[in-house]
Amino acid sequence: MNQGVARQKIVVTGADGQLAQELKFVIPEAVFLSRHDCDLARSDQITAILGTILPDLIVNCGAYTQVDRAETDQDTCNKVNAIAPVLMAGFAKKMIHLSTDYVFGADAVRSRPYRETDTPGPINIYGASKLAGETALLKQFPNALVIRTSWLYSTCFGKNFFLTMQRLFAERDQVRVVNDQMGTPTSARALAQVLGRFIDNPSTNGVYHYSGQGQATWFDFAQEIKNLLGASAQVIPVKSNEFITPAKRPHYSVLDKTKIEQNLGISILGWRDQLRQDVQEFQCRIAHE
């Protein structure tokens, strides 16, 4: 980051999550707020904390991400995902807000990845709450930046598919994984670096998509993790209807990254190549768990 930008007072929410943990390597000078520090479901805490800090920039990595629980905990989900982003943005000159591929999913059949200009269609409460948050944020604060991402993982931090598979491969001889949902794995480490680029370009606003390149099913993702870890467990493909969950998941939620590549001048790695890089760095960073 350039020195002018580095002198900004930056707040990052969701400090215990995998993306914020990776951001600590990119913007270590930022103030990182966990749920314990500032519960995004409580407007009084948001007002008190941010009213004291008065940041120049907020990077909102905090979210209600328990997709199934959201179906019966709509009030808390909406407070965190739909209401809090707008309230927080009022305390800063700029807001970078993380959103999700789950704002899509209503299309039964897709022939191409979703562009930023495509009409959203969430199929669960979580997706609807994230769409409401980004819509309200951009309506009230047009200079805000919304970044939709998908299938986020870190090899070191948080709770995610990679770490779950790593554990299951160590515990079981067979692991059953859904093979009829299509998306793209996204490295939290790579996304954190992209966020650093956006911080260096404060005039950027609107909606952008970012994920790894290519597409995969969860089975494909699990198989690649197995191969890279050298695990011996068998990965068995299954259909979504073999795992009954309260919330529906999109059968297709691949994001088009043309806009971010052209406007930010970056080249995005294929998800397999990025995963290989992340696994190679895993041993070097395992001490941070």
Spatial distance between the Cα atoms of 12 and 86, rounded to a whole number of angstroms = 15
The separation between the first and the last C-alpha atoms of the chain, rounded to the nearest angstrom, is 26
Q: Is 126 labeled as catalytic in the residue annotation?
A: yes
Task: Dihedral sign for Cα 24, 151, 253, 274, please.
Answer: positive
The Cβ-side half-sphere exposure at 276, using a 13 Å CA radius, reads 6
| Cβ density class 11-47: b for 16+ within 10 Å, e for less | bbbbbbbbbbbbbbebbeebbbbebeebbbbeeebbe
CA distances from 177 to 75, 106, 180, 236, 278 (A): 31, 22, 10, 6, 22
Residue of 64, 102, 114, 126 marked active site: 126
CA distances from 102 to 90, 99, 128, 277 (A): 26, 8, 8, 26
- The amino acid sitting at 273 is D
Spatial distance between the Cα atoms of 128 and 70, rounded to a whole number of angstroms = 10
Count of beta carbons in the 10 Å neighbourhood of residue 258: 11
193 and 232 in contact (C-beta within 8 Å)?
Answer: no
**Would you call 53 helix, strand, or coil by DSSP?**
helix
DSSP state of 240: G
Residues assigned a catalytic role:
126
